[in-house]
Structure 1
Amino acid sequence: MEVLKVVMLGMTGMLLGILLKGTRPEYSVYLSLAAGICIFSYMTGKLSYLFSSVLKIQEYLPVDAQYLETLLKMIGITYVSEFAAGICKDAGYGAIASQIDIFARLYIMVLSMPVLLALMETIHSFLA
């Protein structure tokens, strides 16, 4: 049911943006931004549950905290970059949106390198 609330909020923002685009197109971007911020603020309550669940996983499995921290950073980067790219696309700046997407993907690759190197070292130790 909570997903329906978020979808309805997003659809309402979209429909109001379409209505405003004909008369005041400059306000449709602000409306899109406001709807996105409302959805993000609604999501913050769910993030606390996600963090507590990740901490429970860490208690059950002997996983290095650095790996879980990296995973959470990747999730955050993905969400924030998609949000910003969507706003840029709505405003008509597709090139900037593409640059945000590319940078986010590259940054996620940079973040994942220590995990990949640790995995390669583990595989190498098994083979040696």
Structure 2
Amino acid sequence: MNILSISVLAVVTVIICVMLKPKNAEISVMLGISCSVIILIGVLTQVSAIVTTINQIIASSGISIDYIVILLKSIGICLVTEFAVNTCKDSGSQSLASNVSLAGKIMVTVTALPLYSDILKTVLSLAGN
């Protein structure tokens, strides 16, 4: 799915949702969420190309795979969180969106803890402690 297809699908869906909202708000919300899921699934088909490129970069750079795993997990958490937050906002649930956003931030922090630990160890070893 390319950006043109995604954009056209999104704009057409928004127009339909705006037309439906005064008479049937529930259907309008469901249509918006359904379109978002379709776009997300379409974009996720590109993940294999991303993984292949990252594997090539890892092989040529000598970067530890552990750091790349942390990076990819964090990116995944951010993307899923952003999708959920926007869906909650579109459905009119700002407080739920804020809670999901906070949970995503906490999960990224927890995921990156081993990286923080390694950085601290490196700094301490360079400082002579």
Query: Which TM-score applies when normalising by structure 2?
Result: 0.91
Which residue in 1 is equivalent to 2:38?
Answer: 38
**Contact 1:67–1:115 (CA<8 Å) still a contact in 2?**
yes
SS in structure 1 of the partner of residue 21 of structure 2: helix
Match for 2:58: what amino acid?
Q
Give, in angstroms, the shift of residue 94 of structure 1: 0.8
Provide the C-alpha distance between the structure 2 equivalents of 1:5 and 1:119, rounded to a whole number of angstroms: 43
**Quick one: percent identity of the two aligned structures?**
26
The unaligned stretches of length 5 or more in structure 2 are: none
Give, in angstroms, the shift of residue 77 of structure 1: 1.0
Which residue in 2 is equivalent to 1:20?
Answer: 20
SS in structure 2 of the partner of residue 23 of structure 1: coil
Q: Which structure is higher in helix share?
A: 1
Which residue in 1 is equivalent to 2:72?
Answer: 72
Which residue in 1 is equivalent to 2:126?
Answer: 126
**What count of residue pairs does the alignment treat as equivalent?**
128
Which residue in 1 is equivalent to 2:63?
Answer: 63
Provide the C-alpha distance between the structure 2 equivalents of 1:44 and 1:95, rounded to a whole number of angstroms: 28
SS in structure 1 of the partner of residue 105 of structure 2: helix
Query: Which TM-score applies when normalising by structure 1?
Result: 0.92
Give, in angstroms, the shift of residue 5 of structure 1: 2.0
